[in-house]
């Protein structure tokens, strides 16, 4: 190893926003909510490397990118470019950084100025940075992105180009300043599949030819292998797994990555893929507590050591408790199913249990659930939540540490607390306790 610092290092980066309050919040003078868009993210980008950040919409990918280019203040943590933190940048540093870090946006239809010709579009950044020899550079870069011959394109306006051609122009604009880093936000998601492949291939070649590094941001796992060697999987503001692309596709470790990979459709009718077992959507990243961000949907959420309960039964409890905490239990609907002439909290608790729980719970587990439901039936929601929390506390309610193996494979999940390799996959499916 040389002593040279990485090209770009993101250290424990946080970006929180204050959520706009609605009218009710204002009337009640509530504190504004914290949106935890990027929450303790660390990434390293080496020279000539292409890494991907993959996650569902809303997971914080675009906020991460905008923070990287200085469009958002940093809430906490550091972005270090060639050894210098951007919080210490002076004006010339910023100018150098802006030139060396370029963005290719998702939508080629909106990111090009419709009034400018391709030549004007590509000359503009050169002018801004006072670079000479502009005509030659424009031609060269057009050739590189395979808009050949350049004369055919120089005087066209964006509306006369196909989607694939427009995206090539955006890439050319990203490259023309010969940056060190390209940040690409869903660069091919608006393109038809027949051009997607070509554009991705081209980007990959350019990384190699120009010695550029890239952070590729996308929700799409199916094409990531064509562009990035390493994948970071992001969920609700955090990176949950990092690994070499081919390995993560073949053998995802984190329960969320597993779900994500297994939900990718396979273009082969004879392949029998199981539909996802997940329900619901990610939570809003608002006022999150400690703990694993995925625990309300995680099929492998870990029951406490000191009680005996099957994985499925435990999942139901955790899911129900989340609904309870978010005030989303359909009380009225369930009440409509019972005879309301004698409001009896036991009857109500039973009805809720029958509605929300398919697994039998006996012994202490069953007793605690019943107490909680009776509390809920008596409109003591807090008591209900507390009761369930006490008995059914999961280690997943604490933040999982990120563990790393010698090949740089990182996972943040309590199943891997010791070691990336050591998932005790099958949760104990023991009989009920008594």
Partner 1 sequence: MTEPLLEAEDLTVQYETDGGMVTAVSDASFVINEGEFFGLAGESGCGKSTTAKSIIGGLDPNGQISSGTIRYRGKEIQDYTEKQFNEELRWKEIAWIPQSAMNSLDPLQTVSEQAVEIGTVHTEMSETELREQLKEMFSIVGLQESRINDYPHQFSGGMQQRAVIALALFLEPSLIIADEPTTALDVIMQDQIFKHLDEIKEKLNTSLLLITHDISVIFESCETVAIMHASQLAEYGSVDAVYANPRHPYAFMFKEAFPDVREPDRDLEVIEGYPPQLGDEIGFCSFVDRCPWATEECREAAPELEPVDDDDPRHVAGCFRKDEAYEMYQSNRLSSQSGDSTTAITSEDD
Q: Name the token pair of 249.
A: 């596709």
* Smallest distance from partner 1 to CB 204, Å: 12
Name the strand (E) or helix (H) holding 228.
Answer: none
Residues linked to residue 10 through DSSP beta bridges, in sequence order: 43, 79
User: What stretch of H or E contains 434?
Assistant: none
DSSP 116: S
Please give the Cα distance from 9 to 68 (Å, whole number).
10
User: Among residues 240 and 377, whose Cβ is nearest to ligand SF4?
Assistant: 240
Which parts of 276-295 interact with ligand SF4 (CB under 6 A)?
292, 294-295
275 binds, among ligand SF4, partner 1, none (CB under 5 to 8 A by kind): partner 1
Cβ 140 to ligand SF4 shortest distance, Å: 35
Read off the tokens for 361.
Answer: 């719970």
Contacting residue, 45, 313, 413, 420, with ligand SF4 by CB under 6 A: 413
Query: Which two structure tokens, joined as six digits, stand for 105?
Result: 């946006």
Question: Are 123 and 138 in contact, with CB atoms under 8 Å apart?
Answer: yes
**CB nearer to ligand SF4: pick between 168 and 414:** 414
Q: Which long-range contacts (CB under 8 A, 24 or more apart) does 125-131 make?
A: 125/173, 125/176, 125/177, 126/176, 126/177, 129/95, 129/99, 129/177, 131/177
**Residues near ligand SF4 (CB under 6 A), total:** 13
What Rg, from alpha-carbon coordinates, does the chain have? 26
Site string for ligand SF4, 219-258 (x = CB under 6 A): ------------------------------------x---
By CB under 6 A, is residue 396 in contact with ligand SF4? yes
**Least distance from ligand SF4 to the Cβ atom of residue 296, Å:** 8
Question: Which of partner 1, ligand SF4, none interacts with 332 (beta carbon under 5 to 8 A by kind)?
Answer: partner 1
* Cβ at position 235, least distance to ligand SF4 in Å: 9
Residue 102 interacts with which of partner 1, ligand SF4, none, CB < 5 to 8 Å by class: none
- Among 54, 418, 429, 427, which Cα is nearest to 216's? 54
Backbone φ, ψ for residue 11 (5° rounding): -120, 115
Q: Which residues bind partner 1 (CB under 8 A)?
A: 56-57, 162-163, 192-198, 201, 219, 221-223, 225-226, 245-246, 249, 259-261, 263-271, 273, 275-276, 278-279, 281, 284, 328, 330, 332-333
Which one of partner 1, ligand SF4, none interacts with residue 222, CB within 5 to 8 A by kind?
partner 1
CB atoms within 10 A of CB 345: 14
Nearer Cβ to ligand SF4 (122/413): 413
**Binding-site partner at residue 400 among ligand SF4, partner 1, none, CB < 5 to 8 Å by type:** ligand SF4
DSSP code string of 29-89 = TPPPPEEEEEEEEEEEE-TT-EEEEE--TTSSHHHHHHHHTTSS--SEEEEEETTEEGGG-
Binding site for ligand SF4 (CB under 6 A): 255, 292, 294-295, 298, 300-302, 396, 400, 413-415
């Amino acid at each position: 190893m040389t002593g040279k610092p990485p090209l770009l290092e993101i250290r424990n980066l946080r970006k929180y926003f204050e959520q706009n309050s609605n009218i009710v919040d204002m009337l009640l003078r509530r504190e504004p909510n914290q949106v935890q868009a990027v929450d303790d993210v660390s990434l390293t980008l080496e020279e000539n490397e292409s890494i991907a950040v993959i996650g569902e919409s809303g997971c914080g990918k675009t906020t991460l990118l905008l923070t990287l280019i200085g469009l958002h203040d940093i809430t906490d943590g550091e972005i270090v470019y060639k050894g210098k933190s951007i919080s210490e940048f002076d004006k010339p540093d910023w100018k150098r950084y802006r030139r060396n870090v370029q963005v290719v946006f998702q939508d080629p239809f909106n990111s090009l100025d419709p009034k400018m010709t391709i030549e004007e579009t590509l000359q503009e950044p050169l002018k801004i940075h006072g670079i000479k020899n502009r005509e030659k550079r424009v031609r060269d870069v057009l050739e590189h992105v395979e808009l050949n011959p350049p004369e055919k394109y120089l005087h066209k306006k964006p509306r006369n180009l196909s989607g694939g051609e427009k995206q090539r122009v955006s890439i050319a604009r990203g490259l023309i300043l010969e940056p060190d880093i390209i940040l690409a936000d869903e660069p091919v998601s608006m393109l038809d599949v027949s051009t997607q492949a070509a554009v991705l291939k081209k980007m990959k070649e350019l990384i190699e030819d120009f010695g550029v590094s890239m952070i590729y941001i996308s929700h799409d796992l199916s094409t990531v292998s064509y562009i990035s060697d390493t994948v970071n999987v992001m969920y609700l503001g955090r990176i949950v797994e990092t690994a070499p692309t081919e390995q993560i596709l073949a053998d995802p470790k984190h329960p969320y990555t597993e779900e994500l990979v297994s939900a990718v459709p396979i273009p082969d009718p004879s392949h029998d893929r199981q539909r996802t077992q997940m329900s619901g959507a990610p939570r809003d990243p608002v006022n999150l507590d400690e703990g694993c961000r995925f625990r309300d949907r995680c099929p492998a959420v870990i029951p406490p050591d000191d009680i005996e309960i099957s994985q499925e039964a435990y999942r139901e409890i955790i899911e129900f408790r989340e609904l309870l905490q978010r005030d989303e239990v359909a009380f009225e609907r369930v009440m409509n199913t019972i005879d309301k002439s004698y409001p009896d909290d036991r009857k109500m608790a039973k009805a809720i249990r029958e509605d929300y729980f398919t697994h039998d719970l006996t012994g202490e587990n069953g007793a605690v659930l019943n107490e909680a439901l009776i509390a809920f039936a008596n409109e003591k929601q807090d008591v209900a939540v507390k009761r369930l929390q006490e008995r059914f506390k999961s280690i997943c309610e604490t933040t999982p540490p990120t563990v790393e193996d010698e090949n740089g494979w990182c996972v943040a999940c309590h199943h891997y607390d010791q070691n990336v390799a050591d998932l005790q996959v099958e949760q104990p499916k023991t009989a009920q306790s008594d």
